[in-house]
Chain A
Amino acid sequence: MNAVMTTTANQPETARPKTLAEQTIAAATVAPASVLPQPFNRLRQAAQNRLSQVPFPTRRQERYKYCQLDGLSNTAFESFQVFPKISADQLAALTLPECQDARLVFVNGRYQPQLSQTKALTAIKGFHITPFSGMDDAAAEALLTQRLEAQVAGDDNWFSLANTALLDDGLHIRVDRDVVVDVPVQLLFVMAGADATPRIAAPRLVAELGPYARLTVMEHYVGLNNASATLNTMGFDVFLDDGASMTTILFQEDHQAGFHFNQRRVQVGRHAGFNQHTLAFSGLLSRFDNHVTVVGEQGDARLNGLLLLNSSRQSHHHLLIDHQAGHSTSNQLYKSIVLDEARGEFDATVKIAKGAQQTNAAQLNKNLVLSPLAKVYTRPQLLIDADDVKCAHGATVGQLDEEEQFYLTSRGLSPAQAQYMLIDGFAQELIDQLPIASLHQRLTGELQDWFNQRFGQQAAE
């Protein structure tokens, strides 16, 4: 995959003083990850070399213009060398009912087989999960040369480079041709606090689906017992062969002081389908860089997002859907509800290459801004080189509709009840589409709590 994150910052900056975050992370990367097979050290080294040329982002760069990075760049992060014990009860509380026997756990960036439940998965022939540490050198070599290595040289994304430079024990998921994984797999990424030192983690996941394979996962990002800042630099590489279909629910439940920079590269083959539902509810600062390349004809990419942001949280969603093949389709529907001084960003580009005729792409971003100091930045963009395509894009930013509120209150509903119904109605369009049933109730409940906290009890009963 030759796709590159496009930022303008590329020139080596010798004079620029390094941020505290940069210095400490540079120190952290020096220690080799002893757990990994030899070839991975080459990958780490390549990323470390590249990292020395790519400056830490600042708001002067277009792609970080709205990202308040000060808190991040002024923090001295150390690598996670500590893996506090997590009790069975704690894990059980985090596990979805549908995923009791299909739960893969990462702690502080490292895959933890002994905490994982794979009963339902080992029963499926043709579904393989292999920790990086469990690969022989040949398999590691193949993964690097075929999938991971090429992207490093041209990568301008500081966080994705940091993820590779700090690479720990990640996970490789492969689903063979025609295999349908009929249980949703919960991928639980726990940031477990150990002490007062700010820590950086580098979880990494690679999923390869063979022709006509099917897989549904829920990436669940949570914090446990955190007493200090954490930085998650999650990296996810997805490769969908012809006719394969993957759905991922990205559920972000980071802790209050959690920084989360999530980079994903997705390659969609012929007739293949990629569906993603991002749920950004928490954390301090999060950023999602989604780079989807549709390489095969009739490939389809659907990305939904629901942002529910209060206090001074920030959540930035960057999408690049690159249609390189014709008759392909993509659809984006992102909605955000922002309160207090929260900031949401939707910066999405659909690129249609010259030869990608008869492509159909739609982007829609709707925002409810419920406080005077809350802000959203929205920028849906189309870059089209083909002439026979169908594209639509739009964005709305507004408050709750006065006529709708009047209608509801004129029927006796209190103003808070009416507001809750409208906010819930706004969010349900996305919640309804989630393919895991228990999440519907869970998220509706979360929305209720969230609303009650803000508007007082009894509203959302």
Chain B
Amino acid sequence: MLSIKNLHATVNDTPILKGINLEVKAGEVHAIMGPNGSGKSTLAKVIAGHPAFEVTEGEVLYQGQSVLGLEPHERSNAGIFLAFQYPVEIAGVNNAEFLKLAYNAKRKAEGKEEVDEAAFNALLKEKRALLEMDSSYLDRAVNEGFSGGEKKRNEILQLALLDPKLALLDETDSGLDIDALRVVSGGVNAYKKPDNAVVLVTHYQRILNYIQPDFVHVLYKGQIVKSGGKELALALEEKGYDWIIEAEQAGVA
């Protein structure tokens, strides 16, 4: 599904990613953890095609093809989805209208006919029910004035609607209360199928109780310094990152 090889990326000539390697197969859930500023969001945005980052070395293959030459919308149409750590508020752009355009863009990319208002509303209603979101969010501008938790729900609503092949979830659990965490995790689990994959960035083991990872990776200073199974997340929760960082530095030295 996703194959990242020796990926280096910079922002304004400052190196952020310094040789990432990652293999994600269909049906898998990968968790990425790591201290603040280590490059987790950068990795997710580089995969999604954010123009602020420049890839200076390495490759990102998705379904066997390089995506580095593709525009963000082309990557999206190919099935890559990023749930943002900080979803932006877009004044004046109606949320329902935006969701419909996004859904129809995907239909078009799949060579299917665009759906009309009624058909879309029915689908949207079903997905909203899944995320326990009432219709009041639809009349508002995209994310404008949404609470932190509401923004995250809106991201997963989009995930549910667009049903991508590869979901990159950047700290979707941050800022969620207990109930919201359950609902949002439920949304992700409903989406999860054998033919798609999830890369989930998080700081907390908590969400991994709901969404079971097959692999856990630790990203530190732009590199993956340790990978393991879900027990690694538990160890991190208990011991923090120091032991890994020290081991890493000892190894380098």
Contacts and interface: CB of A to CB of B under 8 A. Distances in A.
A408 interface: yes
Given A402-B51, A406-B51, A425-B141, A414 B92 contact: no
Interface stretch (B69-77, B191-199, B215-223): B69-77
B210 interface: no
B71 A415 contact: yes
A129 interface: no
A412 B92 contact: no
A422 B93 CA distance: 7
Interface string B166-197: 00000000000000000000000000000000
Interface string B53-94: 000000000000000000111011100011010011011110
Contacts of A402: 51-52
A409 interface: yes
Contact of A410 (B49, B90, B97, B106): B49
Contacts, number: 76
A417 B109 CA distance: 15
Given A413-B105, A414-B105, A417-B101, A406 B92 contact: no
B72 A421 contact: no
Contact of B106 (A412, A415, A422): A412
Interface in B118-141: 141
A389 to B, nearest CB: 28
A404 B52 CA distance: 13
A326 to B, nearest CB: 34
Interface string A385-409: 0000000000000000111101111
B179 to A, nearest CB: 26
A411 interface: yes
A228 to B, nearest CB: 39
B92 A411 contact: no
B141 A411 contact: no
A406 B101 CA distance: 15
A429 interface: yes
Interface residues of A, number: 24
A173 to B, nearest CB: 35
A424 interface: yes
A460 to B, nearest CB: 11
A422 B98 CA distance: 11
A396 to B, nearest CB: 12
With most chain B CB atoms within 10 A of its CB, the pick from A406, A428, A429 is A406
Given A406-B50, A407-B88, A421-B98, A412 B93 contact: no
A428 B81 CA distance: 29
Nearest to B114: A461
Nearest to B164: A412
B69 to A, nearest CB: 15
Contacts of A428: 92
With most chain B CB atoms within 10 A of its CB, the pick from A421, A428, A429 is A421
B76 A409 contact: yes
A64 to B, nearest CB: 33
Interface in A6-44: none
A402 B98 CA distance: 17
Given A425-B92, A429-B92, A413 B87 contact: no
Contact of B90 (A415, A422, A429): A422
A412 B162 CA distance: 9
Contacts of A127: none
A418 B105 CA distance: 12
A433 to B, nearest CB: 12
Given A403-B88, A421-B93, A421-B98, A410 B82 contact: yes
A66 interface: no
Contact of A408 (B90, B91, B162): B90
Interface string B28-63: 000000000000000000001111100000000000
Given A412-B77, A412-B109, A407 B102 contact: no
A461 to B, nearest CB: 9
With most chain B CB atoms within 10 A of its CB, the pick from A408, A410, A426 is A410
A312 B88 CA distance: 34
B73 A412 contact: yes
A392 B48 CA distance: 40
B205 interface: no
With most chain A CB atoms within 10 A of its CB, the pick from B75, B77, B101, B142 is B101
A415 B49 CA distance: 13
B105 A417 contact: yes
A411 B88 contact: no
B138 to A, nearest CB: 16
Contacts of B49: 410
B158 interface: yes
Given A402-B52, A417-B105, A409 B92 contact: no
B102 A412 contact: yes
A417 B105 CA distance: 10
Interface string A417-448: 11001101111110000000000000000000
Interface of A: 401-404, 406-415, 417-418, 421-422, 424-429
30 contacts: A402-B51, A406-B50, A406-B51, A406-B72, A407-B84, A407-B90, A409-B72, A409-B76, A410-B48, A410-B73, A410-B75, A410-B81, A410-B82, A411-B76, A411-B162, A412-B73, A412-B77, A412-B106, A413-B73, A413-B102, A413-B105, A415-B71, A418-B73, A421-B97, A425-B90, A425-B91, A425-B141, A426-B92, A427-B92, A429-B92
Q: List the 9 closest A-B pairs by CB distance, nearest first.
A: A425-B92, A412-B105, A411-B102, A412-B76, A425-B93, A409-B72, A409-B73, A410-B72, A407-B88
Given A407-B88, A413-B102, 13 more contacts: A402-B51, A403-B88, A406-B51, A407-B84, A407-B90, A407-B142, A410-B81, A412-B76, A412-B105, A421-B97, A424-B92, A425-B93, A429-B91
